[in-house]
Structure 1
């Protein structure tokens, strides 16, 4: 396991070396999992950042589905023996990588907001969404949203900063189906889910993602943000619309599919909230 840890230390990370081959990735993981069922040497352990060692055997690993609409796309993960819902490592390219190494990159071109395209980037999105936000950085007492694994068809951008993935946002495309079992499609592009890691908050990154969304869909008269909008996201919207008054008539809080009866002006809502506080 020391050799595996050295891979990350040497600046080699999964997102930069994985082939865009979900089926091959799954088959390799299944083959490795089969060897665990036959028993592993006592020396086969993975060292956590805390110094604790997790034995690599069939009881400490499981498969996770990367996309909610493509159950065959799976990754093999190692879980914390003290909390079996917390993922601590991912199996890729013949070895285990800590979740933090899965989020890192050795490619200097990965900087800023970049569209998710490869399977490796989809794994990064999954770790950020389901593992980091879903288990490690979510305060259940707050009004944080809970994100399910994303659809393969969902458009997403990862925010890379100083060699690591620190956030993401996803969008629903105009015309894209609102959900399984429905023929209704979104009538406008929608800013759907957004997340920034705790250590990188209060740096204007949420604002940068909202700005990027508006610029990406510059030719559209109306843009949506999925309802309900969290209190933190309302603050981002307020700052953005104060700085960009030309966008005030374009941003709407929407319920699917975003027709006129399913949208509310975000700027109007902010103004009403402000007036209520003054009263």
Structure 2
């Protein structure tokens, strides 16, 4: 007898953030306040069980500029900033399962279009990177939740979302109440999960960005570039010398006085290295 293929939230979720929130609010209303015995529990991969009650769940805003787009999450009682599951389609899904897909067509870099993909972008950015896989002692960047209109691509590998990058398109507003617009496309935020690093994926994301905006003479990488991203740029420009004149480290909106050529910066850094 053939086994039933499991579907994951991104494969079955309708493009209906309001309906998702409405269902989550209805479920939340049924939870106890933790004062009495709770019949429902969620089992963590470690075997630990978390009571499903009002004190162990909270709503997270998916987009920084659309406060009505929220998802209900379950937190680890030992660490209330760590999300262990998300409530979708009437069920609790472990965080890692929310990042999975049963669709073999989801492979490689794919543009974020559906609300389910927006949830995955949020989880990779805020939950996985922001909380679980960020080196707090290093100079790792900290990303805020993305805008609802943010252009992004998710990197899919073997049935799971393992990274992403976002771009600021030429002509888009710089944000923070400014009327200024970006004068060139900018490679803005980027993340690859820890177990998939040192496999050339950072370079693959940067190359995809360059190929996506092939018609533009100048491309930006958001300032400040982290040390890890600087090394990715160095390897990429060594392998692709034709891109050396196109890539600039930029502050918004990216006018000539707000950009530095990355290859020049690499050369200057090498000149300062001790013998």
Q: Which residue of 2 aligns with 1:143?
A: 139
CA–CA distance in 1 between the matches of 2:183 and 2:128? 32
Which position in structure 2 is the counterpart of 1:263?
259
Pair 41,10 (structure 1): closer, same or farther in 2 beyond 3 Å: farther
RMSD: 1.3
Instruction: Name the counterpart of 1:3.
Output: none
2:71/2:86 contact within 8 Å kept: yes
Q: Distance in 1 between matches of 2:137 and 2:197?
A: 18
The aligned length equals 271
Q: Distance in 2 between matches of 1:193 and 1:181?
A: 20
Distance 1:167 1:153 in 2: 19
Q: Is the 8 A contact 2:110 2:156 kept in 1?
A: yes
Q: TM-score, normalised by structure 2?
A: 0.96
State the Cα distance separating 1:14 from its structure 2 match.
0.3
> Given the alignment, which residue of 174, 178, 185 partners 1:178?
174
1:12 equivalent among 7, 13, 20: 7
| Mapping 1:145-160, distance limit 5 Å | 145-160=141-156
- Corresponding position of 1:252: 248
Q: CA deviation at 1:180?
A: 2.9
> Is residue 34 from structure 1 mapped to residue 29 from structure 2 by the alignment?
yes
Structure 2 gap ranges (5+): none
Q: Tell me the distance in 1 between the aligned counterparts of 2:245 and 2:212.
A: 17
Are 1:89 and 2:72 matched, yes or no? no
Partner of residue 98 from structure 1, selected from 76, 94, 101: 94
C-alpha displacement at 1:275, in angstroms? 1.1
Please name the residue that 1:128 is paired with: 124
Q: CA 1:226–1:89 in structure 2 vs 1: closer, same or farther (change >3 Å)? A: same
Residue 218 (structure 1) aligns with: 214
SS of corresponding position for 1:86:
strand
What's the counterpart of residue 193 of structure 2?
Answer: 197
Q: What is the CA–CA distance in structure 1 between the aligned matches of 2:37 and 2:82, rounded to whole Å? A: 24
- The runs of 5 or more residues in structure 1 that have no matched partner are 1-8
- Is 1:43 aligned to residue 32 of structure 2? no
Whole-Å Cα distance in 1 between the matches of residues 200 and 249 of structure 2? 21
**Hey, what does 2:205 align to over in structure 1?**
209
Structure 1 residue 43 displacement after superposition: 2.8
1:77 is matched with which residue? 73
* Residue aligned with 2:175, SS: coil
Deviations 1:50-73, CA, capped at 9 Å, x for gaps:
100000000000000000000000
Once the two structures are superposed, residues 50-99 of structure 1 have per-residue CA deviations (whole angstroms, 9 ceiling, x without a partner) of 10000000000000000000000000000000010110000000000000
Displacement of 1:181 after TM fit? 1.0
- d(CA) in 1 for partners of 2:181, 2:47: 50
Partner of 1:114: 110
Contact in 1 for aligned 2:32/2:38 (Cα 8 Å): no
- What secondary structure does 1:183 align onto? strand
Give the TM-score normalised by the residue count of structure 1.
0.95
The answer to whether the 8 Å contact 2:5/2:102 transfers is: no
